[in-house]
Amino acid sequence: MALPATAADATGLMKSAIRDDNPVLFFEHKALYRNRWPVPPGFKDPDYVVPFGQAAVRRAGTDITVVATLCALHHALAAAEALAAEGVSVEVIDPRTLVPLDGETIIASVRKTGRLLVVDEAYLTCSIQSEVIALVTERAFGALRTAPRRLGNPGVPVPFPPPLEDAVLPGTADIAAAIREMVSS
């Protein structure tokens, strides 16, 4: 199950999916189509792939780990940038795939920061957020300094008008507020 948040990841994960003999679910967020992305060297190489099960640490930090997917990743990076001015060091992880999930990268980060916030646009019930939190609490509970937290859709259909969509889905300000609350406890 692939969730690319950048053009390079979309290309590399799609090539991995095509080369994989197993069925692959590939989720693309339509809002990401409107962006221009920097691309890494070798991006156009036919052998450029992003392996499944390999998360990317998009920003290193020491105070809190934020795991975010698709559009939520970009909101998390913006929140991390804003909070850096306040002296809060946020590590942002892009899982890139959920199955397989790179639990080792996430757990190593939580062991370093002691805090976990998981952000996605999915419903909170039976969600990506719940699965990541379950993984961390099962394998690194003792490393947590505060309860893990999740942000996502509260369980309502996403409205079409952008202002209403913004009211339902977690954005930069929501993520920053959650981080401030978590690092102050």
Per-residue pLDDT of 71-98, as tens digits, reads: 999 999 999 999 999 999 999 999 999 9
According to the model, what pLDDT value does residue 123 have? 94
Contacts of 167 (CB under 8 A, 6+ apart): 159
Contacts of 78 (CB under 8 A, 6+ apart): 172
Number of domains in the chain: 1
Does residue 7 lie in a domain region? Answer: no
pTM for this predicted structure: 0.94
pLDDT value at 146 more than 80:
yes
Note whether residue 51 is domain-resident. Answer: no
On whether residue 160 sits in a domain, the answer given is yes
Q: Which domain holds residue 62?
A: 56-183
